[in-house]
Every structure is written in C-alpha cells, then in structure tokens.
Amino acid sequence: MTCKDIADKLATVAEGSATQGDAAVVDEHVASCDACRQMLHAQVTARTVLRARAAQLAVTAPPGLRTRIAASARAERSEAKGLLSWRGRLSAFAAAAVLMLSLGAALLPVVTERSTVVLAAQLALDHLKCFIIDGDASGPPISKAEAEAIVQRDHGWSANVPASTEGLELLAVRHCLYGDGLAAHVLYRAEGQPVSLFILPGLARPAAELSVLGHDEVVWSHGDRTYMLVSAAGTKAGLARVASYLQNEAK
C-alpha cells in the first residue's frame, strides 16, 4: 500500500468508522510511515477538538428571523393551497405584513445585496400594508407634480413619477418602511386593481419577473435605481402593460 492509497482511507479511520479491512491496512501502513501517522493524528485531533467545542461555537438565529420565516411560510402556504377565501388570504397576508413590518424595519438594514426574491416578498407585504391595512389609497388621484413633490419632501431625492393615464390612476406616495424608509412607494390603481411601484435608489438589479406570496412582480433598473412593480397574482397581462408604460415614463 502506498501513501496515496492510504490517504483516501484516513478520514474514516480517524473517525473509527472504517471497515475492519481498511483499519487494518492503515494500521499496518502507519506503523512504518511517519508522514501518514502524523496525518492520521492531525485528523483525529482536529475532529476531537471540533466535536468537543462545537456546542460553544453554535449560534442562535435572531428571534425576528424565526418570526419572519414563520409568517412568510403561513402566507405562502395559504396562497399556494388556495385554502382560504380572498378575504382570508388578505388576513393571512396582513398578519404576515404586520409581523414583517414591525420586526423587519428594525432588523433588516438598508437594501444592499438582498436577494430579489426576499426583497420581492417584503415589498409584497408593504404593498398590502399600504393598500389594505392603512387604506392609503382611498383618496382621489393626485397629480404627477404632487407625487414628485412628496418624494422630494419625504426622501430628499427627486424622482420622475409616472402620471395617471387611461386605465391607470396615480393615487399616493408613501414612505416605504422597507430599507429604513429609503424606498419610495407609489400607489396606483390599474383597472380597479391596486398596483404598487417601488423606487429603490442607489442599487441596480437585473430585470426579472417573479411570483411571490401571491403577488406578481416585475423588476427593472434604470441608472442606479431599481423599480419593482407589485400587484396581486392573476393580473399578469395587465401588469405587463402597466410595467411597459411605467418603464417608459419613469426614466
């Protein structure tokens, strides 16, 4: 047996989980080979130390993370199975939204390299919060100039907010809690359906279309800003038309 033959067997011999045959071969080899004996010793030692100290190295996930995952799971499950009525689904989402917003705002920092899926999930909940829980879109439509003035006032940066057009009403602009309030949340109604446009400055993301937590989302970037359009699932065709309009107008 050469050292190379032995090398593959050392991992299991070091654990005491090798076959009797392998253990005997390795025993015989290391009796006359310093290098392999030391390698075996190193493996046994490293494993022993690690196993003995593993409990001290264990980490505990932040409590908010557990709550957010549980809430997302509940919302995802309700939607996927279609077990609940439309109103029931809203309640489930609203519960998830409240949890995510109450915990997420404090625990999740500014948008940086978050995965688009996670970001999309959070924005879906923000969309529900503003439309369903807070009723932020219950007033009459506002003008493009008013909307842009609100963005400037609340966020300190300027944005080109697409105006109302046929079949699309510009309703309100809100400070989005996600990302420490850095995203501007523009609320529209497209043929009676709530639609949200989120403008996230300082970060470009790859274009994408995805479905998450019962919502369809379209993502695109222009310059260093990411735009995410959110509406309830099942309105994809309408969403594509709105996205196309907003992509042209929001530049």
Partner 1 sequence: MFPGRRRTSEPAQDEDDFSGATLEFLDSLYGAALRLTRNADRAQDLVQDTYLKAIRARGRYTTGSNLKAWLYTILHNTWRNRQRDGARSRVSFDSAVVEEAAEGASLGPSGHVESPETLLLRATIDADLQQALDALPESFREAVWLRDVDELSYQEIASVLGVPIGTVMSRLSRGRKQLFLLLTVQRQRHGSV
Residue numbers of the site for partner 1 (CB under 8 A)?
Answer: 7-8, 10-12, 14-15, 34-35, 37-39, 41-54, 56-62, 65-66, 68-70, 72-74, 76-77, 80-81, 83, 107-109, 112-115, 117-118, 121, 212
Q: Given the complex with partner 1, which of 45 and 158 has the nearer CB atom?
A: 45
Closest approach, Cβ 212 to partner 1, in A, equals 7
Q: Given the complex with partner 1, which of 149 and 203 has the nearer CB atom?
A: 203
Closest approach, Cβ 220 to partner 1, in A, equals 17
Residue 25, helix vs strand vs coil: helix
* DSSP string of 113-161, one letter each residue: S--HHHHHHHHHHHHHIIIIIS-TT-S----HHHHHHHHHHHHSS---P
Which residue spans within the chain are E strands per DSSP? Answer: 168-176, 183-190, 193-200, 208-212, 215-222, 225-232
HSE toward the beta carbon, residue 222, CA cutoff 13 A: 12
Closest approach, Cβ 9 to partner 1, in A, equals 9
Q: Given the complex with partner 1, which of 170 and 212 has the nearer CB atom?
A: 212
Closest approach, Cβ 15 to partner 1, in A, equals 8
Sign of the Cα pseudo-torsion (164, 143, 111, 113, in order)? positive
Q: Given the complex with partner 1, which of 31 and 59 has the nearer CB atom?
A: 59
Amino acid found at 91 = S
